[in-house]
Structure 1
Amino acid sequence: DDVSLYGTPKEEAGPGPGPANMGGEPKPSFIRNQLQALFQPTDNKLAMKLFGSKKALMKERIRQKAAGHWIIHPCSNFRFYWDLGMLFLLVANLIILPVAISFFNDDLSIRWIAFNCLSDTIFMIDIVVNFRTGIMQQDNSEQVILDPKLIARHYLRTWFFLDLISSIPLDYIFLIFNQFLRMQDFSESFQILQAGRALRILRLAKLLSLVRLLRLSRLVRYVNQWEEVYVS
């Protein structure tokens, strides 16, 4: 075979001064190499199901490396553990959010705010990850789309807007906007009126957090993907 274990041609894998080093180009850092290795496909069950052999998998690693430094292959270790973590976070959201909205008091506790902020941040990062993750075609599963423009176009046409809406903290945006309006008028009558409306405003903000339940669509997608790979 003309391919090394890490998906690079054997003539480039040796420690000697190959053609890539003759131009005096700086070598990638250790951390960057490790990240790129995490983004490459590995010989897991999904990869072997798609490509059939280790030789084909090594050629896919070369193709992934040529697509760009920060393109994530759907068969990579990074994507596997990211999906696993997202699966647990989605289940936690779909259990905690309805319970908190229905039975907790109307005070915004630090733990509740911290959980929502952490979840919203991770789901926003998930959108970025999806923009950089290759796409497995249904009609041709052996050919993974790795072109960044095609990936972005496909994601924008399918799940992007639903993912974005479910990740925006509308409840906190509403509370911040309401607080800003209160600061614009310091009259006594306005403050009395606001004191009477504070509880209703807080309840409305908690209702707006129900938008986060749209994350159910992500849970369905992740479960379907795992079922196709590890159950079938």
Structure 2
Amino acid sequence: MHILRELWTKEIEEPDVKSSYEYVLNLRERLDDTLKIAREKLEKARGRQKHYYDRMAKRRKISVGEKVLVLLPTDSNKLLMHWKGPFEIVTTVGINGYRINMGGKEKTFHANLLKGYIARDQDTSQATTDERPPTSSCAMPAASVTVVEDLEGEHFNDSDCEALPELGGWGSEETVNDLKYGDELTLDQRRQLEERAIMYSSIFSDRPGTVST
């Protein structure tokens, strides 16, 4: 203000001093104008961002008495989050806050940390259990399976085990004599392969065996 008073009263007579004062004042005015423009642009940018966000955003509303899951840190690592619950909503706090009963203690959480809990329908669960087919206690060891025709309207019971066909074992065993060689091999090459096959005949079997340690 002292510099401005000297300029207005024309107390400064030297041109160099006067131009320096004017430069400082003009610079300050330009800085103020620039700051004002930057704030206006910032407000417009915030408005656009809010407009784009509100187009996809939905207000989450949870009623008192509903059960919810809460996003909380894990017991082993505080940096990892997982859903715990269900807990019951006791009351609302403000617009997006909810007070929850957590094992006798009430805590307040933001709506972003909550999601609705949908309990399984007991009637549907019981109906699914009742519709399961009856199981039988009989068992038959076999190396393969067979398909038994299911007669409509009849139920499987333990007495039906005697009617099942008895299944065989592994069947015939293949040996090195069952190996087939390519026709493009010469007699000498075929003889060498037959000698190798006889030497390692144990690995050319279709029967499962044991491995050496």
Bucket of the pairwise TM-score, normalised by the shorter protein: under 0.3
TM-score by length of 1: 0.16
Determine which structure has the larger strand proportion and give its number. Answer: 2
Larger RCO (CA within 8 A; separation ≥ 6): 1
Larger radius of gyration: 2
